[in-house]
């Protein structure tokens, strides 16, 4: 099995989206350009959501159009619906992400509809993306614990993950959105999902509220997963997940997996500088 680990840098989107201070567009562009210089192959740049709901992402178009692109790097955006997808396509997103929750409570609170309604809503987005040659990553929120519904049944994670894969997502992200999962819980849900989907199709997205994210990555590595989301400087939280702190910090993930004998291909020194810059943005 490969010892190459790919980090999907989500700081500019999942991170900044949840910061209270409004970040200047030029700082966001600078951050993405700096991340490109670190050697990331996948960067989640922004989110095409309604500015009414997420004012921090109101400049999505300007940011995606303003960055300097490097060859071979995937610059992605979150697109919850067709309207968002059309804007992302216009701004030449290489990939788009759709998010479905594993619990009805989180789905209602986060996107105002049931799980199955959300999956139905995503179908035309995936279809339009396929037609435009844009890849789609599907993400499952709250895979172990939900702030509204409590402990999550792995069966419902499998249901949503499978639906996203069958819809045409080339990758399915599994997210501990509130950052309270333990390695035991992650192992349990991964075992369930791996019965239906191969490890190569999966990625891990772990917040670090309870300080278990690195252990959760480790158990995921043991299960064959080699793609992980993280945010430079540990930016962010989740507005719909009360109490959640940021994503696991990219620099901590790189350090940890390197010690475990894996290879990320990232410029560690530069990463440290960008982490300082990113943390400075929160003020």
Is 238 assigned a catalytic role? yes
Q: Cα–Cα distance between 252 and 275 in angstroms, integer?
A: 10
Could you tell me the smallest distance in angstroms from the CB atom of residue 106 to Zn ion? Answer: 12
| For Zn ion, the closer CB: 154 or 179 | 179
By Cβ distance, which residue is nearest to Zn ion? 14
Catalytic residue, candidates 38, 146, 169, 238? 238
* Contacting range for Zn ion; rule: CB under 5 A; set: 8-16, 100-108, 153-161, 193-201: 8-16
| For Zn ion, the closer CB: 89 or 152 | 152
* Contacting range for Zn ion; rule: CB under 5 A; set: 11-19, 76-84, 136-144, 210-218: 11-19
Alpha helices in the chain (DSSP H): 25-38, 60-66, 82-90, 104-111, 115-132, 154-167, 183-194, 213-222, 250-259, 268-282
Bridge-based pairing state of the strands 150-151 and 202-206: unpaired
* Contacting range for Zn ion; rule: CB under 5 A; set: 9-17, 29-37, 67-75, 136-144: 9-17
| For Zn ion, the closer CB: 89 or 236 | 236
Token pair 């509809």 is found at 113
Q: Cα–Cα distance between 279 and 270 in angstroms, integer?
A: 14
230 close to 188: Cβ distance less than 8 angstroms:
no
Binding mask 12-41 for Zn ion (x = CB under 5 A): --x---------------------------
3-class SS of residue 270 = helix
Site size toward Zn ion, by CB under 5 A: 1
Could you tell me the smallest distance in angstroms from the CB atom of residue 261 to Zn ion? Answer: 27
Could you tell me the smallest distance in angstroms from the CB atom of residue 131 to Zn ion? Answer: 28
Could you tell me the smallest distance in angstroms from the CB atom of residue 241 to Zn ion? Answer: 9
Please state at what angle helix 213-222 crosses helix 250-259, rounded to 10 degrees: 50
Q: Cα–Cα distance between 197 and 12 in angstroms, integer?
A: 29
Could you tell me the smallest distance in angstroms from the CB atom of residue 78 to Zn ion? Answer: 10
Q: Cα–Cα distance between 272 and 115 in angstroms, integer?
A: 39
- Residues taking part in catalysis: 238
Which residues contact Zn ion by CB under 5 A?
Answer: 14
């Amino acid at each position: 099995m490969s010892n190459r680990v790919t980090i999907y840098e989500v700081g500019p989107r999942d991170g900044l989206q949840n910061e209270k201070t409004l970040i200047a567009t030029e700082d966001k562009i600078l951050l993405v350009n700096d991340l490109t210089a670190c050697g990331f192959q996948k960067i989640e740049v922004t989110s095409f959501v309604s500015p009414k709901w997420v004012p921090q992402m109101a400049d999505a178009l300007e940011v995606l159009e303003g960055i300097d692109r490097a060859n071979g790097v995937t610059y992605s955006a979150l697109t919850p619906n067709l309207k968002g997808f059309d804007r992302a396509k216009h701004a030449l997103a290489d990939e788009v992400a759709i998010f479905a929750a594993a619990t009805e409570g989180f789905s209602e609170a986060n996107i105002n509809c049931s799980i199955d309604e959300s999956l139905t809503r995503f179908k035309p987005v995936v279809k339009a993306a396929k037609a435009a040659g844009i890849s789609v990553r599907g993400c499952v929120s709250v895979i172990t614990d939900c702030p509204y519904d409590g402990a999550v049944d792995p069966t419902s994670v499998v249901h949503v993950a499978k639906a996203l894969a069958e819809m045409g997502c080339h990758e399915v992200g599994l997210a501990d959105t509130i950052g309270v999962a333990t390695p035991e819980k992650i192992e349990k849900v991964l075992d369930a999902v791996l019965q239906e989907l191969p490890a190569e199709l999966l990625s891990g997205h772990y917040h670090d509220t309870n300080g278990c994210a690195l252990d959760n990555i480790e158990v995921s590595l043991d299960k064959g997963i080699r793609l992980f989301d993280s945010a430079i400087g540990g930016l962010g939280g989740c507005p719909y997940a009360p109490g959640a702190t940021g994503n696991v910090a990219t620099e901590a993930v790189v350090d940890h997996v390197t010690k475990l004998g894996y290879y990320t291909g990232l410029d560690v020194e530069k990463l440290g500088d960008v982490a300082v810059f990113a943390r400075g943005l929160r003020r």
